[in-house]
Chains A and B, each alone.
Chain A
Amino acid sequence: MDLNNVMGFPILSLSIFLPTLGALVIWLFVRGDNAVRWAALGVSIATFLVTLPLALQFDTGTAHMQFEELHPWISVFNINYQLGVDGISMPFILLTSLLTVVCIVSAWTCIQTRVKEYMIAFLVLETTLIGVFCALDAILFYFFWEAMLIPMYLIIGIWGGKNRVYATIKFFLYTLAGSVLMLIAILAMYFEAGHTFSLLAFMDYPFDFTWQFWIFIAFFIAFAVKVPMWPVHTWLPDAHTEAPTAGSVILAGILLKMGAYGFLRFSLPMLPDASQYFVPFIVALSLVAIIYISLVAMMQTDMKRLIAYSSIAHMGFVTLGTFMFTQVAVEGAVIGMISHGFVAAALFLCVGVMYDRLHTREIGDYGGVVNVMPVFAAVMMFFCMANVALPGASAFIGEIMVLIGTFEANPVYLGMSTKWVAIAAATSVILSACYTLWMYKRVIMGDLIKDSVKTMQDMNMREFGYFVPLIMLTLWIGFYPLPVLDYLHVSVSHLVDQATTSKLAAAALAQAAPVLDAVHH
């Protein structure tokens, strides 16, 4: 047992609610735009510091939930306020608290209207995101999952671009319609598993195949919209393009991970048989995302749209790795998500830096930026290379692990040879290089022809500052991923065990139990 459980200090609750408390204080007591910015920065840094002990005091030797908290919440329906993290969810909490700091710094000057509301929305959003990764009660999970829509809807709708209203309503309705099915699946499981909403109880309960089949579909739709998987991805390019820079950062960095996290937390351990049954289907959708969406990305003229499509392609890798049920592939998927959290976030920030200067995202409006912004060009070069998954960058570790894991996946579980899947997925290495580097070439390289580009100033210290932690983390995971893998190892191995252990025998036994009893007597 780790120290924190013994001490009983509610560190997860504090991480979840500190941002909202801070937002409340800012709302009531802080006046003036600059004061609001500093206060929000202070709150987000404090939250980051509060989440640090999760990593430092994490016990990598156990797959059990850690830092657990359990209080009755709505006793009539046996809903509990149950929190806890394992090696899979813990990194995402740190990623969230780190990216929120980055978001607040990045919005320092480009958000000039309604600064207070903006900061409050981001802090409330942080609460809901950390809550999703901590929740161990299905209703609590759903509660945070849905509550996230409110701040995100406002962030895109108020501070977004020209088509913001269309984009934000589309985002809201897509996600809401998807989650509706998740709620019904949760309610159905509640009655089947004996009036409990505990995720751990759901993982242990032997659902029979028909149940698993339908519940998997319901969860799948909810998670696939969030990931997003082809063909329910169409909200993402719109939302990304219209969102303010920091909104895109948090969208790419965290929100997309919630869907894949849902697969890891719900589908695989609770519905192992249905998960295996649907592998060919998911593999097909993932390959479409990797190959077809990469081609779509290549043809974009809007930089944010291009990165949005690139995100969908990278998430294709994540879903592919998740459904291979091998230790390496699943770990690769999680590393891929974390890495994408840095790299895609940084690329959106790069576009944001340029957008703040010229107020356009069109690739055709730029060219030769390297001549006026050399430091910026170097930073963007670094993240473009990372997006291509060049060795030494974090994305490389994720992709290579997914590919290896896919190669060695056991066909017995999957009922298909995965060699060809791995080969098809590997084309993404070329395709992602094509769209990323081509964009880089057109925007940064070339001669300085356009007058507007000539006026651009290089990054200031603040802008450079928020890239520094992202560069360091990308390199750190790229060169020395072992510490992160250590966090994952035991939890993922436990998850793979759960996902490859059929529940059908136990389900059959449970159904036969009354009959057997009758025979005995």
Chain B
Amino acid sequence: MANVTFPFPFPDHLIVLLPEMIVAVLAMALLLVDLFISRENKVWTAYLAIISIVIAAFATLQLSSGETVHAFYGFFVFDPFSAYCKLLIYVATAVAMVISIDYMKDEENIGEYYVLMLFAMLGMMLMVSATNFIIMYLGMELMALSVYVLVAYQREVLRANEAALKYFILGSLSSAMLLYGITFLYGVTGSFDFVEVGNALAASDSNARSAVLLGLVFLLAGLGFKISLAPFHMWTPDAYEGAPTPITAFMSVAPKVAGFAIIIRVMVDALPAVQVEYTAILTGMAILTMAVGNLAAIAQRNIKRMLAYSTVGHVGFVILGVIAGNADGYAGILVYLSIYLVMTMGVFAIIIMMRREGIQGELLDDFAGLSKVRPGYALAMAIFMFSLGGIPFLAGFWAKYAVFIAAVEAGHLYLVLYALLFSAVGAFYYIRVVKYIYFDPERVAFNLVESRAMQTTVVVMALAVVALGIYPDPLMDLCKQALAGLV
């Protein structure tokens, strides 16, 4: 533990909450500061928000020592796993803010946008560090409420309102189910603490079994909603399409990281006693998710909707890591999410640039002929698409590889075979995007809205996809180490 001293009294055991405190304080301060920033200079709000994230990231790195430290009398944990997940969330949020700056120039530019992203990020930070159902729920609601508002950001656009309303209603329902599930587990075990619940379940007699299973089903429904696991994925395409594109990018990565982190922690700490049951349920959901995501994506003409279904498909692959239920599987999930972050942020940065006079730039047709006009962006987009499709020498292959090998290790050979077949199906709609870019003639004039920040984002992400594709060893090693304290 890094030795940090404060000029004022500070309870020692709360020091591991420093990143959360920094984000909370700075987000609220920024809300006030924003009042004094004029409409034209709102970009400064974005810069300040990004600086807050950098400070929080710095604090997280300072605190990480490879040890597991509890705070708030066991409500909160700081371990390598939560630190790694937090870093992923920081990167996702910060990149989403960077690509927001240009997007927001054409929108009603209000500073709360960035502050809400900070609050959503704070909720996710709480989620990945929660060791208690109550903290988990608090974090989840903080995240969800902030994201609902962000989805509805373009309040004069019909589809944004529709998307946000759908997302809100279904989200509230899923929260209710989650709470309902937790009450069952509390009823049986008398505790909200993950580890205590786990111990009590291991010791509980078979009379309580049906109550536990009922609780498990509702819990999985609630958690499944957050990570778009079919059949609880219905909100995803609408919310993705209606939200401002940077928020779509944000939503498709950061909440998924937090969601998977909490699922891993709950499964490992609280529910090992019902591993057979939750593996069976998740296997069924995974089979459905892979099919729905990958097949529905084929039918989409709007690239944001296509990527929404593609996210659903990817979630179906990632969940294999939980089904595998071994250290390699959880490490595989972290590898997958890290690589997914890089690919997705790059893709959305390009989509944002495609918005040009009078065209949303969200239809697949809008990409036709991009390679003739902007070969650089075309190449980057092709790299992201082949990578999402899991073709080697690009990072996406290793993402799939990492979870699949863990699932084979755990004996789920047929499930992996099924997943591989659907990854081949998935390749179809990714290479179709490449078809529009490279094979089709130009249909609409390209007059891209671009800035140094966007270009840098695209280039960095594309290079990262190639570099991680050729030499993924450091990332895989890092993810394995991140699990040290957990499994």
Contacts and interface: CB of A to CB of B under 8 A. Distances in A.
A117 B393 CA distance: 18
Nearest to A117: B375
B420 A184 contact: yes
Interface in B431-455: 431-432, 434-435, 438-439
B431 A191 contact: no
B299 interface: no
A35 interface: no
A188 B408 contact: yes
Interface stretch (B7-15, B34-42, B100-108, B471-479): B471-479
B392 interface: yes
Nearest to A113: B372
B428 A169 contact: yes
B417 A184 contact: yes
B433 to A, nearest CB: 12
A263 interface: no
Interface string B457-478: 0000000000000011100110
A154 interface: yes
Contacts of A154: 382, 434, 438
Given A75-B473, A169-B432, A150 B386 contact: yes
Given A76-B477, A184-B416, A191 B408 contact: yes
A184 B439 contact: no
A180 B439 contact: no
A180 B421 contact: yes
A181 B375 CA distance: 34
Interface in B234-250: none
A169 B417 CA distance: 22
Contact of A150 (B331, B391, B417, B428): B391
Interface stretch (A140-148, A250-258, A265-273, A513-521): A140-148
Counting chain A CB atoms within 10 Å of each CB, the highest count among B398, B420, B432, B471 belongs to B420
A26 to B, nearest CB: 13
Interface residues of B, number: 35
Contacts of A187: 404-405, 408, 416
B277 interface: no
Contacts of B113: none
B208 interface: no
Interface string B328-343: 0001000000000000
B183 interface: no
A82 to B, nearest CB: 15
* Chain B interface SS verdict (over half): helix
Contacts of B401: 139
B420 A188 contact: no
B409 interface: yes
A324 B318 CA distance: 44
Contacts of A75: 473, 477
Contacts of B428: 169, 173
Contacts of A188: 408, 413
B70 interface: no
Contact of A169 (B382, B393, B413, B431): B431
Given A157-B438, A190-B405, A183 B393 contact: no
Contact of B392 (A142, A153, A165): A142
Contacts of B382: 154
A164 interface: yes
B480 interface: yes
Contact of B439 (A73, A139, A158, A173): A158
A169 B436 CA distance: 12
A1 interface: no
Interface string B389-429: 00111000110010011001100010011001101100110
Given A74-B473, A169-B432, A164 B439 contact: yes
A221 B408 CA distance: 20
A158 B431 CA distance: 13
A74 B405 CA distance: 13
B427 A172 contact: yes
Nearest to A184: B417
Nearest to A140: B392
Contacts of B480: 76
Interface string B360-393: 0000000000000001000000100010000111
A153 B424 contact: no
A77 B438 contact: no
Contact of B435 (A76, A146, A169, A180): A169
Contacts of B424: 173, 176-177, 180
Interface in A125-150: 139, 142-144, 146-147, 149-150
A102 to B, nearest CB: 25
A176 B424 CA distance: 6
A15 to B, nearest CB: 17
A73 B473 contact: yes
Interface in A304-339: none
B35 to A, nearest CB: 48
Counting chain A CB atoms within 10 Å of each CB, the highest count among B398, B432, B480 belongs to B398
Contacts of A117: 375
Interface in A410-467: none
A180 B476 contact: no
A171 B386 CA distance: 15
A117 B437 CA distance: 14
A147 B393 contact: yes
Nearest to B432: A169
A184 B419 CA distance: 10
Given A153-B431, A169-B431, A184-B417, A146 B476 contact: no
Contacts of B434: 153-154, 157
Contact of B408 (A73, A168, A184): A184
A180 B477 contact: no
Nearest to B473: A74
Contacts of B431: 153, 169, 172
Contacts of A176: 391, 424, 427
Given A74-B476, A180-B421, A158 B408 contact: no
Contacts of A76: 331, 473, 476-477, 480
B404 to A, nearest CB: 7
Given A157-B439, A184-B416, A188-B413, 7 more contacts: A74-B472, A76-B480, A143-B397, A147-B393, A169-B432, A181-B417, A184-B417
16 contacts: A72-B473, A74-B398, A75-B473, A76-B480, A117-B375, A142-B392, A143-B393, A157-B439, A169-B432, A180-B417, A180-B421, A181-B417, A183-B404, A183-B420, A184-B420, A188-B413
4 closest cross-chain pairs (CB), A and B: A180-B420, A143-B392, A76-B476, A147-B393
Interface of A: 72-77, 117, 139, 142-144, 146-147, 149-150, 153-154, 157-158, 164-165, 168-169, 172-173, 176-177, 180-181, 183-184, 187-188, 190-191
